[in-house]
Each structure stands twice: as structure tokens, then as C-alpha cells.
């Protein structure tokens, strides 16, 4: 199975900061990489699909990049509602479509 | 508007069985890929199973042989039959539309396996 490793596991930042979260796959997954945001007690929300495509309705301050094994999620200017946990997920060829362990973004 | 509503969660003893249901509206389970994803308390997301429109089914190794995904097109509902439950199956179980990208999610159903 493909393993997904996110870094950092947690991150403290302030409103207005630019934040980058990285995700590394254990093998080449082309651009089959998605990003989700999860707020406490809520279901995950799709932010980015196919590594860099912004899901409809998601603010443009979110962006994704990368291909192959290394990927990044960037939030250009943090807003109060962005403090949450973020997960990457690979969807390469056949299941299991594994998730990263998550990155908890906290207010500094 | 797409809505996915999971029911059937609860407290069950180790070794027991439980069936989760995911009632869908705004989407047809017969023509969409439907998946289950779970999240243990305080932990990350774990992909569990998917059923494709053509009927192909996949499971995570951790549930293979114990869990069964199915659908009832007439009820527009997807099911997850869970047998031989273990303590480490304790989690919130989410139903999600999609296979490679999960665009829509239910609110989740809590399954607690404990004696």
C-alpha cells in the first residue's frame, strides 16, 4: 500500500500568515492527490483535488501544488475559520486510497 | 442538494455485528461510486471500503473478511455490514460519495466496540 506522510504534524500560526503543509507519498502517484479540511466534530471538506484544482466554493487563498511524490498545500493569508486539521489523500490507480496522518493548524 | 445520512451506529460488544446505513438524496447510489471512511477517536482518517457503479468492491486490509459493503438501489442506500467487531474498530464511520475524490460526506455514525 502507498503510505502518505504529512509534515508538520502540528503548526501554530497567526491570522494573516502564509502557511504551507507538505505531503509525501511512498511512491509516485502522479497528480492523484487531494486535500481535505476538517473542523472539530465535523465531516471533512474537500479543498483541492488532482493536486492543484480548487474545489468549487473553496476560497482562492487555498492552493495546491506538486506531482510525483511531493505535494504542498498553501494558505496564502490565514483566516480565523482556517484553524482546523488538514489531510492529504492519494487516489492512485486502485484502492486503498490512503490518507496522511493529518496536520493540526492552531492559533498562535 | 446532496445529502448523505448515516444511521445504525451504537455500542456493541467485541465479536458482535452491526450494520450501518447511508441514505442518499441528490445522488444515485446506483450511478455513483460510494465509499466508507472511518476515524477513531482523536485519530486521523482511514479509508475503509468502496463500491463502484459496475459492482466492483474494495476493502482496507484491516476490515477485509469482516466487513461487507452493499447497496440497495431501490432505497438509494449504501450499507456497511460489520462482523467480528474489535475494539480497534471503534470510530466515527462516514459515508462519502466518490471513490478517488470525496466531494460529499455524511455527518458520521459513531460505533463503539466495548464490553
Return the pLDDT at A108. 87
Which residue in B97, B94, B7 sits closest to B51, CA to CA? B97
Predicted local confidence at residue B98, as pLDDT: 83
Q: What is the largest CA-CA distance in chain B?
A: 40
H/E element, A11: strand A10-13
Please indicate if any CB of chain A lies within 8 Å of the CB of B102.
yes
Contact between B80 and B71 (Cβ < 8 Å): no
Beta-carbon separation of B44 and A100 below 8 A: yes
Has residue A30 got a pLDDT over 90?
yes
Q: Mean of the per-residue pLDDT values for chain B?
A: 96
Q: What is the pLDDT of residue A94?
A: 87
**Of the given ranges (A22-31, A38-47, B93-102), which has the lowest mean pLDDT?**
B93-102
At residue B95, the 3 state secondary structure works out as strand
For residue B47, which residues of chain A lie inside 8 Å, CB to CB? 89, 95-99
pLDDT band at A3, cuts 50/70/90?
A: very high
Is A102's CB within 8 Å of B44's CB? yes
CA–CA distances in Å: residue B40 to residues B29, B44, B113 = 26, 7, 11
Residue A49 has pLDDT above 90, yes or no: yes
Residue B110 DSSP SS3: strand
Q: What is the pLDDT of residue A45?
A: 98
> What pLDDT score does B11 carry?
98
What strand order describes the sheet that includes B18-25? B3-7, B18-25, B77-82, B67-72
A89 to B60: CB separation less than 8 angstroms, yes or no: no
Amino acid at each position: 500500500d502507498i503510505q502518505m506522510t504529512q509534515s508538520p504534524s502540528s503548526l501554530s500560526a497567526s491570522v494573516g500568515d502564509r502557511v504551507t503543509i507538505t505531503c509525501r507519498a511512498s511512491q509516485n502517484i502522479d497528480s492523484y492527490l487531494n486535500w481535505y479540511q476538517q473542523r472539530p466534530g465535523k465531516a471533512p471538506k474537500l479543498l483541492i483535488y488532482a493536486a492543484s484544482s480548487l474545489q468549487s466554493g473553496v476560497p482562492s487563498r487555498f492552493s495546491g501544488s506538486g506531482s510525483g511524490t511531493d505535494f504542498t498545500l498553501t494558505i496564502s493569508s490565514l483566516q480565523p475559520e482556517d484553524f482546523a486539521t488538514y489531510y492529504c489523500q492519494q487516489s492512485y490507480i486502485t484502492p486503498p486510497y490512503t490518507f496522511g496522518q493529518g496536520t493540526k493548524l492552531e492559533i498562535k | 442538494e446532496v445529502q448523505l445520512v448515516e444511521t445504525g451506529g451504537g455500542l456493541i460488544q467485541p465479536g458482535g455485528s452491526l450494520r450501518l446505513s447511508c441514505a442518499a438524496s441528490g445522488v444515485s447510489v446506483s450511478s455513483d461510486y460510494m465509499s466508507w471512511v472511518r476515524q477513531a477517536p482523536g485519530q486521523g482518517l482511514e479509508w475503509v471500503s468502496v463500491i463502484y457503479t459496475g459492482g466492483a468492491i474494495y476493502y482496507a486490509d484491516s476490515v477485509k473478511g469482516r466487513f461487507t459493503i452493499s447497496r440497495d438501489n431501490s432505497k438509494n442506500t449504501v450499507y456497511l455490514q460489520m462482523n467480528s467487531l474489535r475494539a480497534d474498530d471503534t470510530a466515527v464511520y462516514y459515508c462519502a460519495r466518490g471513490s478517488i475524490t470525496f466531494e460529499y460526506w455524511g455527518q458520521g455514525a459513531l460505533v463503539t466496540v466495548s464490553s
